Amino acid sequence: MQFDSLDDIRTFCRDLPAANRRFADIAAHCQQNLTKPPGSLGRLEDLAIWLAQWQGREQPRLDRVTVAVFAGNHGVAARGVSAYPPAVTAQMVANFTAGGAAINQIARLAGAELLIVPIELERPTRDFTEAAAMDTDEFLGAVDEGCRTVPDDCDLLAVGEMGIANTTAAALLCTALLGGDAARWAGRGTGIDDGGLTRKRAAIDAALNFHRGILDDPLAVAAALGGRELAAMAGAVLAARQRGIPVLLDGFVATSAVLPLARLDAGALDHCRAGHVSAESGHRDLLRELGLQPLLDLDMRLGEASGAGVAILLIRAALACHAGMATFAEAGVASADG
Amino acid sequence: MQFDSLDDIRTFCRDLPAANRRFADIAAHCQQNLTKPPGSLGRLEDLAIWLAQWQGREQPRLDRVTVAVFAGNHGVAARGVSAYPPAVTAQMVANFTAGGAAINQIARLAGAELLIVPIELERPTRDFTEAAAMDTDEFLGAVDEGCRTVPDDCDLLAVGEMGIANTTAAALLCTALLGGDAARWAGRGTGIDDGGLTRKRAAIDAALNFHRGILDDPLAVAAALGGRELAAMAGAVLAARQRGIPVLLDGFVATSAVLPLARLDAGALDHCRAGHVSAESGHRDLLRELGLQPLLDLDMRLGEASGAGVAILLIRAALACHAGMATFAEAGVASADG
């Protein structure tokens, strides 16, 4: 799968691969016969059906689960919008590689392989307050990086990111594509102080003004106002859609990264679930705009796919029940009003 | 640990074992040095500190995790308050033993041993609309069963239940001890229809009227208006407190079962976390009354410790990060504003 132009992406999003209703029906019917009151496993039941219909399998499976963490650097970091210096992006990539970060521990617990994908860290995007963050070729290159990261035979994909200053890019995408002012979407990210928050909002206002001519084009916005790791996450989510791989989105940045796809087609994220709602202030609102109900609400705001990684555990619980429970007939249990 | 009288329980609750603040401080300090913005793992950080302070260990552990499911039968079932016949309690116990229920799959996934404790299923409690469900000796016997179930060396205990008609007992305890009318607390349980719900509320009203003289005594209420599996859960929670074992409570029935303890002393549940908030209508309100914030909100309403069992996975994620992450110094990562 490769997108050679923005129009290629638009074409894909006009004719998206659909879920397999037959396998959804089979999974739903299976759930009805398991030894529990109908519906009593709540969202765990929905998750089993979701796996079946997107994997296109009568028996969904989670043999290969992949966590992909994309990393990028941002020109806007020079404007003092983060509590951490830009060098931390590469330092954290080294930490991921060495196994010392939260996502390493979470992925191991969840039985997931962890793919770390730094994208041209030595070449930050341009400062979007005064230029396009990426031109079309740079954007497509990052999208392609995301596409190529997704293994063909993966059963579930969790996507996340690392990139100092990238909550500024994420908030900018939300402001550009969903409206409201910078204050609606810009939060404290890794924990900036009041001065940093003021600079962050000013950067967003400046970027919106500079790019005001392109705001009605979601992909032009994704290129000019986004970031490489955000573009890569969008690419990974598109590749997963093509390959029948259900996706868990991580937090505010990951969700913002796929917002342009949802603006192209409201069904573009139907194969995705929100792993969690983060403590970053705009995330709950963004999920509501996208009609995504988060699986977890643990006040996390770390990024690096940590929330989606924890949510893998819930998907495993859903599948364990779906695949392992006895039916009423097998167990000799009377069903309701029996 | 054995309670020979209701006064023994009252005495224990007047002088409850406290958390170890020193180990809480050590765990909190450890969290500050891990490679993440301070606080960014949200409730996972709190959970690690909670484990440390109740286990009383510098390095908390989860080597032995126990899920205890207590089962009992209820005289009030004869009043048509459940969608299922009372025989289902024993049938589900057989299903637990055979490995076919949801909690079997969840406990295996969570690396927990599963203890199934049926309590005199052939001898339902008396119908509390016209008698005391249990006398003091019967109540203390069930409490003792709960105490004896908790392994001395367990690192985390999840408690849940099975008992046809036990959401009626649970709603009755809430109405008796927290006020409001039956409609505030009585929900559809396993899925009763409107007629069943009307009968359930009528049974609660009748029981409140019959027992109106004892409603200011939480333990008398637990005996006369509760059930054996509820009493056993209270016993298990007390034994866990004595032995330094943190507890995950399951849903509405499990939380109602320990409500009498909280009425004896507001700190009696400080070593407990609510594994989830269930779809049973009164549970969210009950958790709010107790100041317990649920870890999960997945629309589950199955009981049998299924929600608490899934929450074990979150505790494991919390510990994995706490014990496995690199510090800023170890990883060579700059800390904030560094």
Please report which confidence band the pLDDT of residue B338 belongs to, taking 50, 70 and 90 as the band edges: very low
Q: What residues contact residue B187 under an 8 Å CB cut-off, 6+ apart? A: B167, B171, B197, B252, B280, B281, B282
pLDDT of residue A86 exceeding 70? yes
The residues of A that are catalytic are 304
Cα B172 from chain centre? 17
Query: Which residues in chain B are closer than 8 Å to A338, comparing Cβ atoms?
Result: 84-85
Give the pLDDT mean for B290-295. 98
B336 → closest Cβ in A191, A306, A337: A191
The letter for the amino acid at B322 is: H
Q: How far apart are the first and last CA of chain B?
A: 53
CA-CA distance, A23 to A283, in Å (whole number)? 32
Angstroms from A11 CA to nearest CA on chain B: 36
The candidate with the shortest Cα–Cα distance to B169, out of B96, B240, B232, is: B232
Please report which confidence band the pLDDT of residue B1 belongs to, taking 50, 70 and 90 as the band edges: confident
The candidate with the shortest Cα–Cα distance to B50, out of B255, B253, B331, B314, is: B314
pLDDT of residue A237 exceeding 80? yes
Give the pLDDT mean for A18-37. 97
* 0.90 surpassed by pTM: yes
pLDDT of residue B337 exceeding 60? no
pLDDT digits (tens, 9 = 90+) for A45-56: 999 999 999 999
Chain A to chain B Cβ contacts (< 8 Å): 200
Instruction: State the CB neighbour count (10 A cutoff) for residue A285.
Output: 16
- ipTM value > 0.95: yes
B42 → closest Cβ in A105, A301, A325: A301
pLDDT of residue A40 exceeding 80? yes
Q: Which of B32, B82, B92, B95 to probe by mutation at the A interface, max A CB count within 10 Å?
A: B95
pLDDT digits (tens, 9 = 90+) for A148-196: 999 999 999 999 999 999 999 999 999 999 999 999 999 998 899 999 9
Given an 8 Å threshold on Cβ–Cβ distance, is B44 in contact with A298? Answer: yes
Q: In terms of CA atoms, which chain A residue is nearest residue B86?
A: A334
Angstroms from A296 CA to nearest CA on chain B: 7
CA-CA distance, B209 to A57, in Å (whole number)? 55
Going by the DSSP 8-state scheme, the letter that residue B114 receives in this structure is E
CA-CA distance, B2 to B18, in Å (whole number)? 19
Please report which confidence band the pLDDT of residue A337 belongs to, taking 50, 70 and 90 as the band edges: low
CA-CA distance, A137 to A197, in Å (whole number)? 31
Backbone angles phi, psi at A13, to 5 degrees: -75, -15
Give the pLDDT mean for B140-161. 98
The residues of B that are catalytic are 304
CA-CA distance, A259 to A279, in Å (whole number)? 19
The candidate with the shortest Cα–Cα distance to A20, out of A52, A61, A62, A60, is: A52
Helix A283-290 and helix A252-264, axial crossing angle in degrees, nearest 10? 30
pLDDT of residue B225 exceeding 50? yes
Given an 8 Å threshold on Cβ–Cβ distance, is A300 in contact with B41? Answer: yes
pLDDT digits (tens, 9 = 90+) for B55-82: 999 999 999 999 999 999 999 999 999 9
- Percent of chain B surpassing pLDDT 90: 96
B331 → closest Cβ in A85, A100, A306: A100
Give the pLDDT mean for B142-148. 98
Instruction: Report helix, strand or coil for A327.
Output: strand
Q: What residue has token string 């459940």?
A: B82
Q: Which of A30, A88, A105, A253 to probe by mutation at the B interface, max B CB count within 10 Å?
A: A105
Element (H, E) at A231: helix A228-243
CB A276 within 8 Å of CB A298: yes
pLDDT of residue A338 exceeding 70? no
Query: Which residues in chain A are closer than 8 Å to B321, comparing Cβ atoms?
Result: 102, 105-106
Going by the DSSP 8-state scheme, the letter that residue A60 receives in this structure is -
According to the model, what pLDDT value does residue A1 have?
Answer: 79
- Alpha-carbon distances of A218 from A160, A176, B103, rounded to whole Å: 21, 9, 45
Q: In terms of CA atoms, which chain A residue is nearest residue B293?
A: A298
Tokens of A178: 């969903």
Given an 8 Å threshold on Cβ–Cβ distance, is B314 in contact with A298? Answer: yes
**Beta-ladder partners of A118:** A71
A310 → closest Cβ in B102, B301, B314: B314
According to the model, what pLDDT value does residue A335 have?
Answer: 79
CA-CA distance, B64 to A219, in Å (whole number)? 51
Query: Which residues in chain A are closer than 8 Å to B335, comparing Cβ atoms?
Result: 84
Give the pLDDT mean for B309-317. 98
The letter for the amino acid at A267 is: G
